[in-house]
């Protein structure tokens, strides 16, 4: 009888529309005992040991859910599967608090989009928002309430495999991409059944791992932390992100998953974040190997007191929070605060009002891999590609060529275009490069394929056939790069040239004297100076997802004029790392005429391709860079305009980029900082006037006293087609 009354009471709460979410949270919290409160802070993964497409809870978890001892599951999906489990929580537990189901929907649930680094290469935030929207529509139809994305870690070291998951080296571009994905996932109504909670990760500083070695030590100044690595997190929090994920790494001696400075001082006190923080996988437990906790009990105490609300898979909160509270080491208040944050997001998701609204099998069947979503992956893939070289306009190729050789270990791979973190992405859904080219061309063109070599192997016996095929063809398209598992988590590489003997293969094909196009398929910048020097055409395609082949064929044969720009610098050699565009000037900036300056003796001291670089099948001419004033007060804005002409013969899109340099500050300032960009479309011969506004916000930085301010002084403004090829002007800020 008591249960029924309680159920009616909870339901009456949920129907009391006028009650605010905070009041409803308080009502539920007041009913909970300590065990049930701790249960909300516990997250476990589904068990891959079930061997089915849909992973199921591990042995014993259903009983724990029935007892209210688990608040969230990850890696469990499927409308029917999640409904079955949700029913246990909502109909069989004492307080009927719904579970929240999380999953790594990083670039798609089943319909795989280009990897995030590829999408960032589009420099098209609205396209990226649409992509995230489609991903949310698909994942939510499969019972998912919450994605562990966007990953917003700034990465300046391409040895780090997770560079593929983020938006590159720049905080401004990274912030726009982070906001676009939060908006795409969460939409305008988080309680709708086709929106999902975002999770900004990995908070924070994870991309700064020393040596680009995953999980490694991170140590940089608070100023760098705030100005570079924290910027995208702050932008995403300001955009209303529902959750964050604490990172594995330490920063300056304090592991993020036990850092009060990060999870409370910055996130809650400064940024006023009111959602919740989930740990990374066992990252609370890893406070022990980090050496700041002697055992799991101390790790639990550090984590919850830091402000990490939910424990993913460490068993720390499950096993020790109750005794920590009973021993007076952790206050009930701290527990209540974390529970409140989690309940708040569950209410915002509408899970209390209708815990089964994500569990409609019919919707899942009609949504997953729908035509519109597949089409959306194609447009994302087109805009993600970066044309790195096109000597003598070899590209676009003619569609009436007689014979085309398609060569290389990635040319017909069904698996690799999915990239890392592809979730339920299925290789059978992938259009390979070879298939895309065949789809594009009529029967009059003979398209033949030779693998040539494998990605990592040292065997050259496939070269002969590949060279013969190239010799017998009008053009050779060589698809090389990394396999999908060479970039992503725990996939750092000390050498970032083409793996195996792939470059030897390219050289052998180049020696035939036939026109050669190199297609790169990879998850990080690669050091390919020989290819850049010797091959006529090079396209960076990253991992483009299920429509890779069709998108690449669209670019190869001119049905899409490439418009991508690099979100990350390509070094010539791994020894140049870290190399990034927004570097400091130093006291001895490189001067080729002065021995005693900052450079390497044994190579050309420039990137292979600079940040923001990308060519087109047309040309764009910049002129009339002008400022509406050359002097502004600290609280005033400045208007910048430039004329951009499509001076070629093909319609195309151009990303007009605006950088500034603060020449003198109370602390050293980068030689360039991206502050705005505009992706415009110009018909052949068309000219557009592009205007930007430099607001005081764009001039602020952390001064010598760590105040975020505008300082008076002289500035340069640069506008152009990439971070190096720019026109410049000057202005001053006066007190």
Per-position x/- string for 128-167, each x denoting binding to ligand GLC as judged by CB under 6 A, each - no binding: --------------------x-------------------
For ligand GLC, the closer of residues 46 and 350 by Cβ is 46
C-alpha dihedral sign at 547, 553, 556, 562: negative
- Kindly report the CA angle at 484 between 483 and 490, in degrees rounded to 5? 105
Could you tell me the smallest distance in angstroms from the CB atom of residue 4 to ligand GLC? 38
Of residues 45 through 74, those in contact with ligand GLC by CB under 6 A are 74
In this chain, which of 123, 281, 613, 718 binds ligand GLC, going by CB under 6 A? 281
For ligand GLC, the closer of residues 149 and 550 by Cβ is 149
**Residues contacting 224, CB < 8 A, separation 6+:** none
For ligand GLC, the closer of residues 233 and 617 by Cβ is 233
For ligand GLC, the closer of residues 316 and 552 by Cβ is 316
Pairwise CA distance, residues 514 & 64, whole Å? 66
> Which contacts of 535-538 are long-range, i.e. CB under 8 A and separated by 24 or more positions?
535/389, 535/506, 535/510, 536/389, 536/390, 536/391, 536/392, 536/394, 537/387, 537/389, 537/390, 537/391, 537/394, 537/395, 538/387, 538/388, 538/389
Could you tell me the smallest distance in angstroms from the CB atom of residue 280 to ligand GLC? 5
Pairwise CA distance, residues 317 & 51, whole Å? 28
Task: Provide the β-strand partners of residue 406.
Answer: 449, 477
3-state secondary structure 484-510: HHHCCCCCCCCCCCCCCCHHHHHHHHH
Could you tell me the smallest distance in angstroms from the CB atom of residue 122 to ligand GLC? 23
Pairwise CA distance, residues 166 & 157, whole Å? 12
Could you tell me the smallest distance in angstroms from the CB atom of residue 311 to ligand GLC? 13
- Kindly report the CA angle at 429 between 424 and 432, in degrees rounded to 5? 125
Closest-CA residue to 484 (of 373, 428, 409, 386): 409
Beta pairing, strands 537-540 & 386-390: antiparallel
For ligand GLC, the closer of residues 235 and 312 by Cβ is 312
Could you tell me the smallest distance in angstroms from the CB atom of residue 456 to ligand GLC? 24
Count of C-beta atoms within a 10 Å radius of residue 336: 15
Q: Does residue 280 have an active-site annotation?
A: yes
For ligand GLC, the closer of residues 44 and 347 by Cβ is 44
Could you tell me the smallest distance in angstroms from the CB atom of residue 283 to ligand GLC? 8
Could you tell me the smallest distance in angstroms from the CB atom of residue 281 to ligand GLC? 4
Of the residues 104, 153, 157, 280, which is catalytic? 280
Q: What is the H or E stretch that residue 201 is in?
A: strand 199-203
Cα distances from 299 to residues 39, 138, 311, 324, 457, in angstroms, run: 17, 37, 11, 11, 44
Can you read off the two tokens belonging to residue 322? 């109750």
**Residues contacting 552, CB < 8 A, separation 6+:** 381, 385, 433, 436, 437, 519, 539, 541, 544
Could you tell me the smallest distance in angstroms from the CB atom of residue 556 to ligand GLC? 34
Could you tell me the smallest distance in angstroms from the CB atom of residue 87 to ligand GLC? 25
For ligand GLC, the closer of residues 44 and 622 by Cβ is 44
**Whose structure tokens read 């990274």?**
174
Could you tell me the smallest distance in angstroms from the CB atom of residue 104 to ligand GLC? 5
Pairwise CA distance, residues 378 & 374, whole Å? 7
Residue 489 within binding range of ligand GLC, rule CB under 6 A: yes
Could you tell me the smallest distance in angstroms from the CB atom of residue 74 to ligand GLC? 6
In this chain, which of 61, 69, 201, 679 binds ligand GLC, going by CB under 6 A? 201
Could you tell me the smallest distance in angstroms from the CB atom of residue 482 to ligand GLC? 20
Could you tell me how many residues of this chain bind ligand GLC (CB under 6 A)? 7
For ligand GLC, the closer of residues 132 and 505 by Cβ is 132
Closest-CA residue to 207 (of 163, 259, 254): 163
Pairwise CA distance, residues 622 & 301, whole Å? 58
In this chain, which of 81, 104, 482, 673 binds ligand GLC, going by CB under 6 A? 104
In this chain, which of 280, 435, 540, 554 binds ligand GLC, going by CB under 6 A? 280
Residue nearest to ligand GLC (CB): 148
Can you read off the two tokens belonging to residue 286? 């890893």
Q: Where do the H-state alpha helices sit in 572-731?
A: 696-699
Cα distances from 115 to residues 200, 549, 598, 616, in angstroms, run: 16, 15, 35, 22
**Residues contacting 523, CB < 8 A, separation 6+:** 115, 117, 161, 163, 164, 419, 420, 482, 484, 486, 487, 488, 491, 542, 543
Of residues 245 through 264, those in contact with ligand GLC by CB under 6 A are none
DSSP classification of residue 670:
B
Query: b vs e for 420-448, b when ≥16 Cβ sit within 10 Å of the residue's Cβ?
Result: bbbbbbbbebbbbbbbbbbebbeeebebe
For ligand GLC, the closer of residues 74 and 266 by Cβ is 74
Could you tell me the smallest distance in angstroms from the CB atom of residue 256 to ligand GLC? 12
Pairwise CA distance, residues 504 & 512, whole Å? 13
**Residues contacting 570, CB < 8 A, separation 6+:** 158, 525, 526, 527, 528, 607, 608, 609
Cα distances from 343 to residues 26, 37, 274, 431, in angstroms, run: 9, 10, 11, 43
Closest-CA residue to 512 (of 479, 466, 470): 470
User: Residue 400: exposed, middle, or buried by beta-carbon count in 10 A (0-12, 13-18, 19+)?
Assistant: exposed
Beta strands in 26-99 (DSSP E): 42-47, 56-57, 72-74
- Helix, coil or strand: residue 521: strand
Known catalytic residues? Answer: 280
Chain contacts with ligand GLC (rule: CB under 6 A): 74, 104, 148, 201, 280-281, 489
């Amino acid at each position: 009888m008591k249960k029924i009354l309680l159920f009616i009471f909870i339901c009456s709460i949920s129907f009391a529309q006028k009650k605010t979410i905070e009041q409803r949270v308080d009502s539920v919290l007041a009913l909970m005992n300590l065990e049930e409160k701790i249960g909300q802070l516990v997250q476990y993964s589904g068990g891959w040991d079930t061997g089915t497409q849909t992973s199921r809870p591990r042995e014993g978890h259903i009983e724990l859910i029935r007892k209210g001892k688990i608040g969230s599951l990850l890696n469990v999906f499927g409308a029917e599967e999640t409904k079955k489990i949700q029913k246990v929580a909502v109909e069989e537990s004492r307080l009927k608090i719904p579970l929240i189901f999380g999953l790594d929907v990083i670039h798609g649930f089943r319909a795989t989009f280009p990897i995030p680094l590829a999408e960032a290469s589009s420099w098209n935030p609205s396209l990226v928002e649409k992509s995230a929207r489609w991903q949310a529509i698909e994942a939510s139809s499969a019972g998912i309430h919450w994605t562990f994305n966007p990953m917003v870690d700034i990465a300046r070291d391409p040895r780090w495999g997770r560079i593929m998951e983020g938006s590159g080296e720049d905080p401004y571009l990274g912030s726009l991409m982070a906001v676009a994905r939060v908006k795409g996932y969460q939409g305008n109504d988080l309680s709708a059944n086709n929106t999902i909670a975002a999770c900004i990760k990995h908070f924070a500083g994870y991309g700064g791992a020393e040596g680009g070695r995953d999980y490694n030590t991170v140590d940089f100044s608070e100023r760098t932390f705030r100005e570079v690595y924290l910027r995208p997190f702050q932008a995403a929090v300001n955009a209303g992100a529902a959750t964050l994920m604490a990172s594995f790494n330490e920063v300056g001696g304090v592991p993020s998953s036990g850092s009060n400075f990060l999870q409370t001082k910055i996130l809650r006190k400064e940024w006023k974040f009111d959602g919740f923080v989930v740990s990374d996988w066992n990252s609370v437990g890893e406070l022990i190997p980090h050496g700041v906790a002697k055992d799991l009990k101390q790790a639990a105490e550090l984590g919850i007191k830091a402000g990490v609300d939910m424990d993913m898979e460490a068993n720390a909160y499950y096993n020790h929070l109750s005794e920590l509270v009973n021993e007076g080491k952790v206050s009930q208040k701290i527990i209540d605060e974390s529970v409140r944050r989690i309940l708040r997001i569950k209410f915002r998701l509408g899970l209390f009002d209708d815990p089964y609204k994500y569990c409609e099998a019919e919707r899942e069947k009609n949504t997953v891999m729908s035509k519109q979503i597949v089409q959306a992956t194609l447009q994302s893939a087109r805009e993600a590609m970066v044309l790195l070289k096109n000597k003598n306009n070899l590209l676009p190729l003619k569609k009436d060529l007689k014979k085309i050789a398609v060569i290389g270990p990635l040319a017909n791979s069904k698996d690799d275009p999915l990239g890392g973190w592809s979730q339920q992405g299925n290789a059978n859904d992938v259009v390979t490069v070879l298939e895309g080219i065949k789809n594009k061309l009529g029967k009059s063109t003979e398209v033949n394929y030779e693998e040539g070599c494998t990605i990592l192997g040292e065997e050259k016996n496939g070269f002969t056939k590949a060279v013969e095929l190239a010799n017998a063809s009008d053009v050779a398209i060589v698809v090389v790069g990394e396999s999908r598992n060479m970039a992503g988590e725990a996939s750092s590489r000390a050498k970032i040239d083409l793996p195996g003997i792939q470059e030897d293969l390219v050289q052998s094909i180049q020696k035939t004297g036939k026109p050669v196009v190199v297609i790169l398929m990879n998850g990080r910048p690669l050091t390919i100076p020989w290819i850049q020097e010797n091959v006529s055409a090079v396209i960076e395609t990253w991992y483009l997802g299920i429509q890779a082949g069709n998108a690449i064929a669209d670019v190869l044969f001119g049905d899409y004029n490439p418009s991508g720009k690099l979100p990350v610098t390509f070094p010539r050699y791994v020894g140049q790392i870290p190399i990034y565009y927004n570097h400091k000037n130093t006291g001895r900036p490189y001067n080729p005429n002065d021995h005693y300056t900052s450079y390497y003796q044994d190579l050309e001291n420039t990137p292979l391709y600079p940040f923001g670089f990308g060519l087109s099948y047309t040309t764009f001419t910049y002129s009339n860079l002008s400022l509406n004033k050359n002097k502004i007060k600290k609280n005033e804005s400045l208007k910048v305009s430039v004329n951009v002409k499509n001076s070629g013969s093909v319609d195309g899109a151009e990303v007009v980029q605006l950088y500034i340099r603060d020449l003198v500050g109370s602390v050293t300032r980068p030689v360039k900082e991206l502050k705005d960009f505009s992706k415009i479309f110009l018909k052949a011969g068309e000219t557009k006037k592009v205007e930007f506004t430099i607001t005081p916000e764009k001039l602020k930085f952390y001064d010598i006293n760590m105040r975020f301010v505008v300082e008076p002084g002289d500035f340069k403004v640069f506008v152009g087609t990439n971070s190096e090829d720019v026109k410049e002007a000057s202005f001053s800020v006066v007190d």
